[in-house]
Structure 1
Amino acid sequence: MKPAFEKLLTPPGQSFRFFNRKTLTTAARWHSHPEIELTYVEHGSGTRIVGDNISSYRDHDLVLLGPNLPHTWQSDEFQGRKLDLHPAMVIQFRREFLGEQFFEAPEFSSVRAMLDDSRRGLLFSPEMARRIGDRLSMMMHESPGVRLVRLLDCLLELAECQQAERLASLGFSVPTDSHAEGRTQKICAFIGEHYRNPDLTHQTLADEADMNPSAFSRFFRERTGKTAMNYIAEMRVSLACRLLINTDLPITEIYEASGFANASNFNRQFRRFRKLSAREYRNLHRAVAGKASLSEPAEMGYSELSGNQLM
């Protein structure tokens, strides 16, 4: 899908944007912009879409996004609403915001490499997210000059992290054709609102896009690298994962709440995307969480239980 393009304006007297997402008055949508973005979600859960990656997110979600990389966060708390006001601290800046050659200095070689890598989106560990999140919280109450120094400090620390997970696939490319922007934005919003409906079909999406089914199929695959129904199945499995982790609902209720019409399709799709059954997934999560609780709180949603692996 072609993401909506956002033109961002920095506040007077500042060189970058820094805000809490809960203050926004525009609708949540799949979008892109030429600015680099650092987003931190301290508490919450939902679906994070970065390029062609569809994953669940949980507490302490910290992601660095490169220029023009399409993305959105859809929180469970505000699912289906026009405005997603779940708190998240967001920094947006252009690579050249301190001058064309600033990050070319040898002292910033690690930051330069990290910004190059951010073209696919970088997910950092919850431990790193906590440390950076503490600094972002301080920045909210500091002067613009101190904020700038702290931003550079955050980038230097993130650049030393050797465990950041790349989100979008190596083959993902940012769409450049703006001709179908209105149509694709409409489809994006429609899927986000209706993917939990088991009666959502390829024909329904084609009708929403005002295209015949074969043309819509080509259109969607060209922009996402996926078929429309695979895209929807990934979103449903992602929601099912969160319900398996966060609730004690029986699996029969979970597949219905996630938008699957029957247990057979749910089991097949879940194993396809997570490489194990829903019951095995829940048991694995509880086993890991139980071991971690003996020493410190478990951190799920990253490493072996993150991204396209299990979450």
Structure 2
Amino acid sequence: MTSNPLSNQPSNSNLWQPNRALSKRVETGVRALFALFAFVSVVTTIGIVLTLIFETVEFFQEVSIWQFLTDTQWTPLFTNKQFGIMVLISATLLISVIAIAVALPLGLLAAICLSEYAPAKLRKWLKPALEILAGVPTVVFGYFALFTVTPFLQSFIPGMQGFNALSAGIVLGISIIPLVASLSEDALYSVPRSLREGAYALGSTKRETIVSVVLPAALSGIVASFILAISRAIGETMIVTIAAGQNPQLGLNPLVPIQTMTAYIVQVSKGDTPAGSLAYKTIFAVGMTLFLITLALNIFSYWFVRRFREKYE
């Protein structure tokens, strides 16, 4: 008998055993690293929320919640202290509504143009050019609103003051157009081509296909972009601080100076207010109010998208 010279060679399964063990260890290490990153994010969020809660509780030990919600004046830095948060909320919502009225339609129309009408080569250049707008510092936008937009509006709107909500809201809307356009365009572009071709096969025009097929299919991404844009508008600081003024007054007149919640936080954070004082604690109460408004927006977006999907499934 002759022996097989290959019988002494190690099998392929034996060769792969060390590599498999090494790959498994690497995969376990990567999972642990990613879990650590997620844990740090969660812990940081919990820490921020707990800080707001503890400081806000201390604030409400000296000021009643009823006074905080119903008072019509906000003067915590004056001798006659009043703590009506609705003054700041009304100013924040006024500027946010103006910004949303500018950003949402323009951003969505830009997204539809890029996704459905623009040629591939033109889209390749237009989308980065639009996203460059998102890289402009908000301080620049604030001074643009104060020294360019406001004088332009004053030329044909009598009674408009130098600091006002209208110019701040318009420029804020311009600054968040890239956010709406980019995220909405990604959602529209990800809609399968087969859905469009099916609509065309049934005799739909391009406009009917976009309105009846593409937009509903991309609704979750579009709503997400809208919610992010609204949250950005509510939480914007520098534009409203520079262009809207620091005059806390209750009302919906966009032609006069007002003060938003973020602008008030900037005012107190300059260092003139002693740490630990009641006036200093107001920034945590205002911050908690901002947090709750943003949380409510996210809950609403989740409910809206889920209900819409259940309706069309």
TM-based fold match above 0.5: no
Structure number with higher relative contact order (C-alpha < 8 Å, ≥ 6 residues apart) = 2
Give the alignment's TM-score, normalised by structure 1.
Answer: 0.23
Give the alignment's TM-score, normalised by structure 2.
Answer: 0.23
User: Which structure: larger Rg?
Assistant: 2
Higher strand share: 1
